Structure 1
């Protein structure tokens, strides 16, 4: 089976981040013999004064492969890890979906998209989870994190949202790389020009101008670049990627 797993609201300002906890869960699943598992993606949700969050209001999601009989064990491993490491004062939520290619997940995808632009409630999340027959659980505090956990799964299934956690750490700033070299990185499958979304040929060189990120776009890990006035393809730094938000993604 293919499964999706997402967590949200597990940290406080002094603790390890939700992304690190998601990676720890992924590592535990792989150690149990489940997998392969994907990289973790960070999904930015709505920022509003009425929504409690630690710093950025983002959830962390990954997908993987496992025997169908392993679903309960996957949920137990993830739940146990959340219960053990979630920070004091956090409101953790866990969502696990056994993906069925025959099912229509448009309601779940819509929930994820709505969570990026409006306030949703736990009741909204529970209703959507019941309709889509997936696991959704609270692990402390108010359990408010179930909203972001469900939204993250919807956005990951959508396939054109989120940045790859800890991506592009093994490239040097102010250096030039051929596209073929960049595509050897595990967090990158394509290099696209931002405005046209056209792929660059393997022989094209890209200048890495600062710390950057790959993003999930059409179910692939994509590095977006822009062409300068001098005709040089250059990366976009991480802060610009986050400011652009929906500019990257399909509407």
Structure 2
């Protein structure tokens, strides 16, 4: 029998070490290797930046969905093994996961995620909510403060309108790294290179995202054309993956960094 799990981690890295997104990808790959199944893209969810909250650079949680025959005990064992092997010595890693097949308390978890974007929360609050909702929550080094962000990551993913997919897409515009990878090079600056113009239909086929939408949340017709320059990223909208575009001089082009900050 296949199960569908939502898994999130936070606070696994330190300056100069592998990022939390890379470690989330490692966990997904380990689950696939050991248990089979399928894993979604990893999404990044921005949390509150405040002097009282320890973080490496941006304070963001990483989240993904795993669907397969692995039981909760296997999910925990595999994820914890990766966290212990890959987390930075100075990190405060947290792990959260829940089986979505029988989870009926999404609203409370979404509320916690929203709160984590605007205020300082505590480990006690995170553990109390996780215990009430039946969500796995555990810490794996340091102060364990990462449990707050990990739990919030679940809620923000469930919201469906928060987060950017990790990495960048290469559709021929000069970026050399696919979505899900750690780094990308698009030359110097956000507008580097001439880019490439594609139909929405071709863009969907090349990236395998669910939609191409404008800043007003409207999907583009398949035959519309989009100029892709620099880093091409996808966001989460209405529970789906989407490439965000805007009108510039009468033509569609992929969203700029500032336009993506809301996600």
**Partner residue of 1:183?**
204
Runs of 4+ more than 4 Å apart: none
User: What is the alpha-carbon distance in structure 2 between the residues aligned to residue 130 and residue 187 of structure 1?
Assistant: 37
Q: List runs of 5+ in structure 2 lacking aligned partners.
A: 175-194
How much has 1:158 moved relative to structure 2? 1.3
User: What is the alpha-carbon distance in structure 1 between the residues aligned to residue 235 and residue 206 of structure 2?
Assistant: 13
SS in 2 for 1:100: helix
How much has 1:23 moved relative to structure 2? 0.3
User: Which of residues 232, 243, 254 in structure 2 aligns to 1:212?
Assistant: 232
Range 204-213 or range 136-145, more displaced: 204-213
SS in 2 for 1:65: strand
**TM-score between both structures, scaled by the size of structure 1:** 0.92
User: What is the alpha-carbon distance in structure 1 between the residues aligned to residue 152 and residue 208 of structure 2?
Assistant: 22
Contact 2:169 2:207 in 1 (8 A): no
**Partner residue of 2:213?**
192
Contact 2:173 2:229 in 1 (8 A): no
RMSD, aligned CA = 1.5
SS in 1 for 2:35: coil
User: What is the alpha-carbon distance in structure 1 between the residues aligned to residue 16 and residue 79 of structure 2?
Assistant: 22
Q: Which deviations, in whole Å up to 9, do the C-alpha atoms of 1:118-172 show, x marking residues without a partner?
A: 1100011001101110110000000000000000011111111100001323441
Contact 1:10 1:17 in 2 (8 A): yes
Q: Which deviations, in whole Å up to 9, do the C-alpha atoms of 1:80-106 show, x marking residues without a partner?
A: 110111101110000011113561311
Q: Flag the 1:37–1:180 CA change in 2: closer, same or farther, 3 A.
A: same
Contact 1:210 1:236 in 2 (8 A): no
- The number of residue pairs the alignment matches comes to 241
**TM-score between both structures, scaled by the size of structure 2:** 0.87
How much has 1:59 moved relative to structure 2? 0.6
